[in-house]
């Protein structure tokens, strides 16, 4: 079988693996805060705060382990890491169906973080098999698998929660994650040929030196944190916001609709943004996307009906859908193949740092100032991220023009 046929087959398999992972992880997101409420008679503020910490702790351990997995993947192969991540996540989520208090849920969410890098590792897996010229399009296609799963996940999770209960929903979720691990076994790993003058392996010091020599790459990686702070600030409290707008009737289902609206917009545009980035330059398109996302997030602070929230989430998905494939495509062009796993590991680690800060910040801001303040804060952070990258692009025009 020729390399391009292997690459196409791997992309198809990883699309479905990402579909199941994306669906599985978002199946439980809409009702984590509601699940905490079943452990005792707690105040709304207590649930909001613990929703933020329980949601965010996963990303503390993910932040610590992502560069480690990336370096191991560069040296020993990413396929093994993907299989370990799938089965590790599946086991921890299965056990969440048996917890009896918030501390047990907190510990298992922390354990889940060790294995949370499946999506980012799959991006590195496919990226190293993809020519630079079509990286945005291919990574955008891969992302549609995750997005499609994320689109159906909240709806299915909400229905499961409303019909069979929260604990059983966790057990069903773990099954689909195990399926993803089995799918990865069917892939065949290889990498694009190294460019002349590049090495077969790099030390961590050489990898960090390569990153720091490119100021736009540094800015894009740091912006990963700001984007995730903004995006994840609303995630753990979204179901509570839906309850305030719509009421408590079938709350799991309607929370799922609100989550899935962003996924639908993302699905429609992710591959297109990747192609546009390949054609017009990844940095320029990333600046545009950051400004668009800031613009569409702000109206969320002023809505008073459920359908308005769904519409804002849909527009958000359309705008934010290109940020990940465009950003990864730029890293693919800037990093030699033999260090891409570790570079993407650092980028993922910075993303998870934003995932740590975002839920905790969103929970506390909502608890003290209300839900509207979270949307205003989020929009401001995205605007700052766009301005930072815009300035970096103009200070380093030679790097911006080449991409």
Name all domains of the chain by residue range, CATH numbers in brackets.
3-187+204-401 (1.20.1250.20)
Q: Give 208-232 pLDDT, tens digit per residue.
A: 888 888 888 888 888 888 888 877 7
Residues making up the chain, counted from first to last = 403
Distances in whole angstroms, Cα of residue 149 to Cα of each of 14, 142, 167: 12, 12, 21
pLDDT at residue 1 in the model: 59
User: Is the predicted pLDDT of residue 403 greater than 70, yes or no?
Assistant: no
**Once rounded to an integer, what is the mean pLDDT over residues 329-342?**
78
State what percent of residues in the chain have pLDDT above 70: 95
Band (295; pLDDT cuts 50, 70, 90): very high
Q: How confident is the prediction for the chain on average, in pLDDT?
A: 83
Asked if 75 and 189 touch (Cβ cutoff 8 Å), the reply is no
Rg of the chain over all Cα atoms, to the nearest angstrom: 20
Band (14; pLDDT cuts 50, 70, 90): very high
Q: Give dist(CA 345, CA 195) in Å, integer.
A: 21
Asked if 11 and 142 touch (Cβ cutoff 8 Å), the reply is yes
Asked if 323 and 290 touch (Cβ cutoff 8 Å), the reply is yes
Where does residue 57 rank: exposed (0-12), middle (13-18), buried (19+ CB within 10 A)? buried
Band (198; pLDDT cuts 50, 70, 90): low
**Once rounded to an integer, what is the mean pLDDT over residues 365-389?**
87
Q: Give dist(CA 164, CA 159) in Å, integer.
A: 8
Residues 106, 108, 109: CA angle, nearest 5 degrees: 65
Contact residues for 385 (Cβ-Cβ < 8 A; gap 6+):
223, 226, 227, 230, 290
pLDDT at residue 181 in the model: 92
DSSP per-residue codes, 279-291: HH-HHHHHHHHHH
Report pTM. 0.75
In this structure, of 62-71, 264-273, 320-329, 334-343, the range with the lowest mean pLDDT score is 334-343
- First-residue to last-residue Cα distance in the chain: 32
């Amino acid at each position: 079988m020729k390399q391009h046929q292997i690459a196409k087959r791997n992309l198809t398999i990883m699309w479905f693996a990402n579909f199941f992972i994306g669906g599985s992880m978002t199946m439980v997101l809409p009702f984590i805060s509601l699940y905490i409420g079943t452990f005792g008679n707690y105040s709304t503020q207590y649930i909001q705060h613990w929703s933020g910490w329980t949601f965010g702790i996963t990303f503390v351990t993910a932040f610590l382990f992502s560069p480690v997995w990336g370096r191991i993947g560069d040296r020993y192969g990413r396929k093994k890491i993907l299989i370990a991540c799938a089965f590790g996540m599946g086991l921890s989520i299965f056990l969440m169906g048996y917890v009896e208090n918030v501390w047990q849920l907190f510990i298992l969410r922390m354990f889940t973080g060790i294995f949370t890098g499946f999506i980012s590792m799959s991006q590195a897996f496919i990226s190293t098999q993809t020519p630079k010229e079509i990286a945005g399009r291919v990574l955008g296609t891969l992302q549609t698998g995750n997005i499609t799963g994320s689109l159906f996940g909240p709806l299915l999770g909400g229905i499961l929660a409303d019909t069979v209960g929260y604990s059983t929903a966790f057990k069903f979720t773990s099954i689909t994650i195990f399926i993803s691990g089995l799918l990865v076994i069917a892939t065949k790993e290889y990498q694009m040929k190294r460019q002349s003058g590049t090495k077969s392996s790099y030390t961590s010091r050489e990898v960090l030196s390569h990153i720091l020599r490119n100021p736009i790459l540094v800015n894009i990686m740091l912006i990963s944190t700001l984007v995730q702070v903004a995006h994840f600030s609303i995630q753990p409290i979204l179901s509570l916001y839906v309850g305030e707008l719509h009421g408590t009737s079938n709350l799991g289902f309607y929370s799922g609709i609100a989550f899935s609206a962003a996924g639908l917009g993302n699905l429609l545009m992710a591959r297109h943004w990747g192609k546009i980035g390949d054609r017009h330059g990844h940095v320029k398109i990333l600046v545009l996307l950051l400004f668009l996302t800031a613009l569409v997030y702000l109206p969320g602070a002023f809505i008073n009906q459920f359908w308005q929230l769904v519409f804002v989430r849909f527009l958000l998905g359309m705008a934010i859908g290109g940020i990940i494939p465009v950003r990864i495509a730029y890293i693919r062009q800037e990093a030699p193949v033999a260090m891409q796993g570790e570079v993407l590991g650092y980028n993922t680690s910075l993303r998870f740092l934003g995932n740590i800060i975002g839920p905790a910040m969103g929970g506390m801001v909502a608890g003290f100032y209300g839900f509207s303040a979270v949307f205003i804060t989020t929009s401001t952070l995205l605007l700052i991220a766009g301005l930072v990258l815009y300035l970096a692009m103009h200070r380093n025009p030679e790097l911006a023009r080449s991409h």
